[in-house]
Amino acid sequence: MAQTALITGASSGIGAAFARALARRGDHLILVARSEDKLEALAESLRGEQAVTVTVIAADLSLPGCGVRLAAELAGRGLAVDVLINNAGFGSAGAFAQQDPARDAEMIGLNVTAVVDLAHAFLPAMLERRRGGIINVASVAGFQPLPQMAIYAATKAFVLSFSEALWAETRARGVRVTALCPGPVDTPFFEATGTPELRKAVPEGFMMTAEEVAAEALSALAAGRPVVVPGVGNKLLSVVPRLLPRRWMTLASGKAMAR
């Protein structure tokens, strides 16, 4: 049976890959991002390739109350959400003291507050129906502090912890929740940090495609797994911080980021 999936940050990268993968299996889509032109172009392509309904909503999810507004918009259109994919987010690189406070606040709003707002908006109905799913996009950066990307890593640590808690709360009530923790992905993320040279620092064999990451996430959600870390090397990166003293890992990651 076809479901309706809401994907945030759907205009490019992992979000667009989720949209293509879900459209191929016949799911209807609600695509949300700030860039309406990019969303419309993707929607038109998907409608031409698959017999699915694609709804486009341009919205800035970094603003407070995004979940309430989006839920009201969808209710007005008679749309229910079966699967929520909280993918919208961004990062910035550099020493914390040199970062723009307004930009950091926007990052926290999008990476953290919007994830919570949207879960509040759509999870209760899923629980009432006793079916549904949520994928929250975290990161391998969420497994440890990351100097030079302090706020980004902290937001992803929140998403990881929040998702695991929701998984435990909802697993017996028909709803599945998965935290997706990718490592480096070949998307515009690096350019958006303002430090595109970070891409060159990715070890060979660690970079994955958005399509690979989306496919692993959807498989993990279907299997009811609370966390998925795509890629063998990234899985190792997620385990090491649990085995070594946290201070050592923080200093080591700081040296790696400073290169």
List per-block mean pLDDT (blocks of 10 residues) for the chain, which spans 259 residues.
93 96 97 95 93 95 95 96 97 93 97 98 98 97 92 97 98 98 83 62 75 97 97 80 70 69
Tens of pLDDT, residue by residue over 52-84, are 999 999 999 999 999 999 999 999 999 999 999
Question: pLDDT at position 244, please?
Answer: 66
Q: Does residue 56 have an active-site annotation? A: no
Question: Six-digit token pair at 180?
Answer: 């997706």
**Which of the following is catalytic: 152, 167, 189, 190?**
152
Number of neighbours of residue 35 by Cβ within 10 angstroms? 14
Residue 159 sits at the vertex; the CA angle it makes with 155 and 164, to the nearest 5 degrees, is: 150
Question: pLDDT at position 203, please?
Answer: 63
How many residues comprise the chain? 259
Residue type, position 168, single letter: A
Question: pLDDT at position 246, please?
Answer: 73
Is residue 177 packed enough to be buried (19+ CB in 10 Å), middle (13-18) or exposed (0-12)?
Answer: buried
Q: Which structural domains are found in the chain, ordered by start?
A: 4-258 (3.40.50.720)
Question: pLDDT at position 253, please?
Answer: 73
Question: pLDDT at position 189, please?
Answer: 72
Question: pLDDT at position 192, please?
Answer: 62
Question: Which residue, among 183, 179, 178, 180, has the nearest Cα to 240 in the 3D structure?
Answer: 183
